[in-house]
Amino acid sequence: MLQTPYYLIDKARLEPNMEKIAWLREASGAKSLLALKCFATWSVFDFMAQYMDGTTSSSLFELRLGAEKFGGESHGYSVAWAEHEFDEVLTHADKVIFNTIGQLERFGAASAGHVRGLRVNPGVSSSDFDLADPARPFSRLGEHDPARIAEVLGQVSGFMFHNNCENDDFERFDAMLGHIEVRFGALIRQMEWVSLGGGIHFTGSGYPLERLAERLKRFAGEHGVQVYLEPGEAAITNAATLEVTVLDTLFNGKHLAIVDSSIEAHMLDLLIYRSSAKMLPNEGDHEWMICGKSCLAGDIFGEFRFPAPLRPGDRLSIQDAAGYTMVKKNWFNGVKMPAIVLRELDGTERLVRDFGYDDFAAALS
C-alpha cells in the first residue's frame, strides 16, 4: 500500500470531463486550452492532450511547461511581462497576449510578426469573491475602454476576456456574453480570434452543454472569429483526491482527528476562500473535525460524518483535490509534501513523484 499523504489523480474521473470538452469543440468549433494556473501536473498532459487543443498560461514558466509537456497551441499571457524574459516568451508562445496597451506598446517592436492579443476587461463578472473578481473596482486585469482599444486594433488579431468564475449558470454566461457583444462587438468583428477565458463550469452534471455549444457557434459565426475557451477547474473537476491517514485523535468538546497532511500546505485554496474540504461518503452517526498537522490553529479541513469513531491508522479520502490545489502546495511547517499517484484507466496505481527532505531543503537556501 502506498504511503500517505498523496494526491491521487484518477484518469477514469478525468475522462468524462475530457469527453465533454472534446464534444464541445466538435459541436461548437470552440477550441479548449488548459489553464495551467489551475492544474499543471504534467504526468497526465499526454492523456489530456488527446482531447484539448493546448494550454494557456500566466507566466513564462507555465508557458514553457505547456509548450514542452502538453504541446498543441500555447497562449502566452501574463499580467506583466518583464523585459528580460520576453525573448524567451516569444520562443514558446503561438500567441502572446498582453494585459495592457502599455505592455503592447512596450513590446510592440520585439513582438512584431508574432500573433498578438489584448486582454479586455468587460467590467462584469460572475464572481462573488472580491479576491477573485477580475471586474472588481480599479481592476488591473485588462483594458476596458473601447475607444482606447480601437486605437491599437491594427496591432492585435484577437482579444482575451476572462470574467467567469465557477459559473454553472448558463443564463448568466449567456447574459455576460451578450454584454460583451453590445460593448465590444464592433471591435470583435475586426479580430480573427477571441478567447472567452475560463470559469465556465460546463463539465458539471446538468450543465446545458448543447445550449452552450449553440451559443458559442453563433458568437463565432456572427463575429467571424475562432473562439477559444480556457478551462481550468472545469477540465479537472473531481479528478483527484488527497489521500491521508489519521495520526491521532482527541476529544476537546468535539471529536478531533489529526491527519498526516495540512490544509494550509496541501489545500491552501480552501483556506483562502474559507470553504470546507469535501469528504465522501459524509454520512453516519459520528461527527469528527478533521485537522491538519501543522501548528496553525485553524489548520482544519472541516467537520464530517463517519459510520464509526475514527482511530489512528484510518485512511481518509479528501475529494476534489486537483484544481488550484496541487499548484499551490508548499513546505509550510516542513510537513511532508504529498506524493503524486496516477490511477490508470485499468485501475492500476502508479507513483509518479515523491517529495523528500532534499526537495524541502532545495526550496530555500
- By CB under 6 A, name the binding residues for ligand PLP: 35, 37-38, 56, 77, 162, 165-166, 197-199, 230-234
Q: How far is the CB of 63 from ligand PLP (least distance, A)?
A: 13
The residues pairing with 9 across neighbouring beta strands, listed in sequence order, are: 240, 342
Contact 36, 62 (CB under 8 A): yes
Q: How far is the CB of 347 from ligand PLP (least distance, A)?
A: 28
Nearer to ligand PLP, 236 or 244 (CB): 236
Calpha distance 134→354 (Å, rounded) = 35
Q: How far is the CB of 311 from ligand PLP (least distance, A)?
A: 37
Calpha distance 321→319 (Å, rounded) = 6
307, HSE (Cβ side, Cα atoms, 13 Å): 4
Nearer to ligand PLP, 35 or 240 (CB): 35
Contact 122, 185 (CB under 8 A): no
Nearer to ligand PLP, 4 or 126 (CB): 126
The closest alpha carbon to 200, from 242, 239, 240, 228, belongs to 228
Q: How far is the CB of 139 from ligand PLP (least distance, A)?
A: 12
Calpha distance 14→240 (Å, rounded) = 8
Nearer to ligand PLP, 122 or 197 (CB): 197
Nearer to ligand PLP, 58 or 245 (CB): 58
Q: What is the DSSP letter of 117?
A: E
Q: How far is the CB of 42 from ligand PLP (least distance, A)?
A: 17
Nearer to ligand PLP, 60 or 257 (CB): 60
Q: How far is the CB of 335 from ligand PLP (least distance, A)?
A: 26
**List of residues 6+ apart from 30 with CB closer than 8 A:** 24, 196, 213, 216, 217, 220, 227, 228, 229
Nearer to ligand PLP, 230 or 243 (CB): 230
The residues pairing with 303 across neighbouring beta strands, listed in sequence order, are: 289
**List of residues 6+ apart from 19 with CB closer than 8 A:** 51
Q: How far is the CB of 292 from ligand PLP (least distance, A)?
A: 24
Nearer to ligand PLP, 158 or 199 (CB): 199
Biggest CA pair distance of the chain? 67
**List of residues 6+ apart from 2 with CB closer than 8 A:** 243, 339, 341, 349, 351
Q: Give 71: exposed, middle or buried? Use CB within 10 Å, 0-12, 13-18, 19+.
A: middle
Q: How far is the CB of 248 from ligand PLP (least distance, A)?
A: 35
The closest alpha carbon to 103, from 75, 83, 74, belongs to 83
Calpha distance 34→37 (Å, rounded) = 9
Q: How far is the CB of 9 from ligand PLP (least distance, A)?
A: 16
Calpha distance 195→232 (Å, rounded) = 14
Nearer to ligand PLP, 242 or 322 (CB): 322
Residue 351's alpha-carbon distances to 81, 306, 340, in angstroms, are: 36, 28, 6
